[in-house]
Copies of this chain bind each other. A is one copy, B any other.
Amino acid sequence: MSIGVCYFPEHWPHEQWETDIRQMADAGIEYVRMAEFSWGVLEPERGAFDFEWLDEIVGLVGEYGMEAVLCTPTAAPPRWLVEERPEIRQRDRDGTVRDVGSRRHYCFNSDAYREETERVVRAMAERYADDPRVVGWQTDNEYGCHGTTRCYCDDCADAFRNWVREEYETVDALNEAWGTTFWSQQYDDFEQVDLPRPTPAQDHPSMLLDFARFASDSVVEYNRLQANLLREANEEWFVTHNFMNLFESVDAYEFDEDLDLIAWDSYPTGHAQQAGGETTADELRAGNPDLLSFNHDLYRSVLDRPFWVMEQQPGDVNWPPHSAQPAEGAMRLWAHHATAHGADTVVYFRWRRCLEGQEQYHAGLRKQDGTADRGYADATRAAEELFDLDHVDAPVALLHDYENAWALGEQSHAPDFDYWQLLQSFYASLRAHGVQVDIVHPENDLESYDAVVAPTLHLATESLADHLTAYVESGGELLLGPRTGVKDEFNKLRPGLQPGPLSALVGASVDQHETLPTRFEPTVARPDETDAEYAFRTWAEWLEADAGEPLLEYAGDDIEGGRTAAVRNAVGEGSVVYCGVWPESELANDLVGSLLDRAGVPQTDVLPDGVRVASRDGHTWVMNFRSDPVAVTVAEDASWRLGGPEIDSFDLAIAEIDAVDELSVQIRE
């Protein structure tokens, strides 16, 4: 487990370099990420590559006992390239060019840009193919950032036509798959297929889903071009890419063959402000631990191996609405939190606050004058405390699929229905019970999991139904959430009632669904236990139980009162619960707690908000994202690897215990 840092030597005078590198080594840093966005200095004019500066700094990195991770510089093509080949630029849906002047001003489907990419990546790869100080590569930077996954240029229109042609082969098959009789939308020829354009009313949802698939595939293909070039040059190198917080438009699962390592960029206090709702003071100081670990767990699960945090917030940052100073120790807490969730390396972004350009309001580990910034001591301390660990072994899987996000994103059917927030409702409850969770694709092999939670499986095929039924029949415990089994893979409604192919497994079908404003504060209750009501939000399905046993019914005397809201069905050696509402936290905790009980997964009592535990390799981290201190109760003979049972605000401890149910946490007054 190591610490790294992102460094941009090209932003600093040459005479500063060795001091910087020496100070990094002194801080305990092991990896230095460089060359991101450096095309302008690497190739100041066409063909005139200048690698000397990079050679020198890579040399210094090696001299001081560290290793270099290089980036391909393709996220920012220089002006001379845009001037020569202006067709590489993306276009907005209304045709407006996305011009040079910031970054990401290129189209993934541009043949011209793929040529240029090949040229620059090949040059870099060849230059460092035999350099032992370079251990791996980051391709590009944050694919899709700033809304650039989906482009509306002519190259993309051609590429989408080809993608559709390849997918459906005949135009009849296309018309059938999408369902184009509606509103006379039939295609006579593949040439009529086009990108989504400004139209008077809504677009066809099946076209939109395929466009989202195509756009994601275009990024995968573009990345493959880079990965292959790097692997050809040196097969020892790891190749990675830095993904982003809850990033919807690019399907990370599809990168599994093209990357050796998955990384993501973690900015806890920024992400907390993007999450919707009013950010609390503690979140503004340290972020929301469940939002962070959702990303950790997702990106760890893609390859089922340790991941990197490629950019770790080092202090205040430039882009969220408000940038409060992170709490004392937060930068250390985040490193441990990532490690507890399976990280291998945490790379702070950046070494020193940059004097020029768009990110001047972004801190580094050092201030602009070179002195230590607030994150420096945290990073140094984390570097000392981290130790080697086996991979995380999670007993529970949470099913997640980008295609569901795309389909539901285009037809949310309520302003407050959000795929990612629905997932968070279930995920946060798993975290509140202290359980490690893999976040995996629904078609993943599930047999290693004691329990599976599927917050929604909106698009569902027969084969997915078979897959889940087999899991339950062989003893698996499954919790299914609402809007499941609604659509087929083409985003068309099924002729049968919901949950479609999953109806037999669930033992119930959906009579009606409705969406309700959150201000109505609707509730459900257990049948015959009308005094304990559980709040839900936004989405409600009226179930007709068949084999399934009613588990929850709608409370109150409005028209849905007494109708079934959730069922449980025993199938083979396992069982399944289908919950037709979006649960608020108390209900989610109840459903998840019961699931873990049935599955025999050790769990904690419900943890206080902002306090989280996570186990890895025989160690259990107790992490306090709150400004008030907490006390941990553990088995008498438990020993502490780091800290102890009294944990300060924004601090952590590491216990050596066997299972999380040996432990409980209280807030200290």
Chain B residues with Cβ below 8 Å from A197 are 97, 99, 101
A97-B197, A182-B354 known; A188-B80 Cβ under 8 A: yes
C-alpha gap A512/B372 in the complex (Å): 12
A181-B11, A559-B327 known; A413-B361 Cβ under 8 A: yes
Do residues B413 and A105 form an inter-chain contact, with CB atoms below 8 A? Answer: no
Do residues B368 and A494 form an inter-chain contact, with CB atoms below 8 A? Answer: yes
Most chain B beta carbons < 10 A, residue from A95, A414, A497, A517 = A517
C-alpha gap A179/B354 in the complex (Å): 10
A473 at the interface (CB under 8 A from B): no
Do residues A199 and B99 form an inter-chain contact, with CB atoms below 8 A? Answer: yes
Nearest opposing residue in chain B for A361, CB measure: B413
Do residues B324 and A516 form an inter-chain contact, with CB atoms below 8 A? Answer: yes
A359 at the interface (CB under 8 A from B): yes
**Min distance, Cβ A575 to any Cβ of chain B, angstroms:** 26
Do residues B512 and A198 form an inter-chain contact, with CB atoms below 8 A? Answer: no
Work out how many copies of this chain go into the complex.
Answer: 3
Do residues B204 and A101 form an inter-chain contact, with CB atoms below 8 A? Answer: yes
C-alpha gap A496/B199 in the complex (Å): 46
**Min distance, Cβ A329 to any Cβ of chain B, angstroms:** 10
Do residues B102 and A202 form an inter-chain contact, with CB atoms below 8 A? Answer: yes
A184 at the interface (CB under 8 A from B): yes
Do residues B104 and A369 form an inter-chain contact, with CB atoms below 8 A? Answer: no
The 8 A CB mask of A183-196 against B (1 = contact, 0 = none) is: 11111100010101
A287 at the interface (CB under 8 A from B): no
A669 at the interface (CB under 8 A from B): no
Q: Which of A20-28, A32-40, A611-619, A654-662 contacts B (4 or more CB under 8 A)?
A: A32-40
The 8 A CB mask of A49-80 against B (1 = contact, 0 = none) is: 00000000000000000000000010011111
Nearest opposing residue in chain B for A650, CB measure: B559
**Min distance, Cβ A553 to any Cβ of chain B, angstroms:** 15
C-alpha gap A203/B357 in the complex (Å): 8
Q: Which of A315-323, A423-431, A596-604, A637-645 contacts B (4 or more CB under 8 A)?
A: A315-323
Q: Which A243-288 residues have C-beta < 8 A from chain B?
A: 278-279, 281, 284-285
**Residue among B99, B201, B411 making CB contact with A103, cutoff 8 Å:** B201
Nearest opposing residue in chain B for A367, CB measure: B497
**Min distance, Cβ A278 to any Cβ of chain B, angstroms:** 8
C-alpha gap A611/B519 in the complex (Å): 24
C-alpha gap A109/B105 in the complex (Å): 29
Most chain B beta carbons < 10 A, residue from A38, A284, A356 = A356
**Min distance, Cβ A359 to any Cβ of chain B, angstroms:** 7
Q: Which A521-577 residues have C-beta < 8 A from chain B?
A: 542, 558-560
Chain B residues with Cβ below 8 Å from A203 are 101-102, 358
Chain B residues with Cβ below 8 Å from A368 are 493-497
A585 at the interface (CB under 8 A from B): no
Show 30 A/B contacts (Cβ-Cβ < 8 Å), sorted by A. Answer: A40-B185, A41-B184, A79-B188, A80-B188, A92-B198, A95-B96, A98-B199, A99-B199, A101-B197, A101-B204, A104-B200, A146-B201, A180-B357, A182-B358, A202-B358, A204-B358, A205-B357, A281-B558, A315-B512, A321-B517, A324-B515, A325-B559, A327-B559, A354-B493, A356-B492, A360-B492, A361-B413, A368-B494, A368-B497, A374-B512
Known contacts A40-B186, A79-B187; 15 additional CB pairs below 8 A are: A78-B186, A99-B198, A102-B201, A179-B355, A179-B357, A185-B357, A281-B520, A322-B415, A323-B414, A360-B487, A368-B493, A369-B495, A369-B496, A369-B497, A558-B627
Q: Which 5 A-B pairs have the closest CB atoms?
A: A179-B356, A182-B357, A40-B184, A102-B201, A99-B197
